[in-house]
Amino acid sequence: MVPVGAVTPAVDGVTVAVDVVDVQPVGFTVEVVAAPGWGLQRRCGWPPADGLAWWAEDDRGGVHLGHVNGGGGPEKARGTVEFPGGLDPEAEELRIIPSGVTERAIVRIPLPRRVTGTDDPDRTRCGTTGVPPNGRRASGR
């Protein structure tokens, strides 16, 4: 878990506090608080009929769309924004982007080096080599 503790300026009238990011192999989650609370309510579709849309980008070119689990009262709501799909293990920065119809904010989060069980950069989490038999690495994105 990466503690964040950032608060955005108002995004279409909603202030967002980003508390914690938790990166897992199958995706990542972001713990947030929104004031007023309707900022975490959202019906499917774009543009959002209510609440904010939740985007994230990493410094390796990944773009992610999140969905909210949680809620609260009209003045404040706490929830978890879930971003399915893995984050590039070499990503060093994550940008959380709560977006309204007319405004958005960007919260930049430096990511710590993730431990994969080995210091050998040619090994993956599964313990197999990341170098193919021909000895050439695949190029990045």
Q: Where are the chain's structural domains?
A: 2-110
* Residue type present at position 62: G
Q: Is 54 helix (H, G, I), strand (E, B) or coil?
A: strand
Q: Which residue has the higher pLDDT, 26 or 70?
A: 26
| Omega within 30 of 0 (cis) for the link into 47 | yes
User: Superfamily for 2-110?
Assistant: Conserved domain protein. (2.60.40.1640)
Residue 61 has pLDDT above 90, yes or no: yes
| Identity of the highest mean pLDDT range in 31-35, 119-123, 137-141 | 31-35
- The model's pLDDT over 114-132, given as tens digits with 9 standing for 90+, comes to 643 334 444 333 333 444 4
- Which SS3 state, helix, strand or coil, does residue 43 take? coil
Q: Which pTM value belongs to this model?
A: 0.74
**3-class SS of residue 38:** helix
Q: What is the mean pLDDT of residues 92-106?
A: 94
Q: What is the pLDDT of residue 74?
A: 78
Percent of the chain with pLDDT over 70: 74
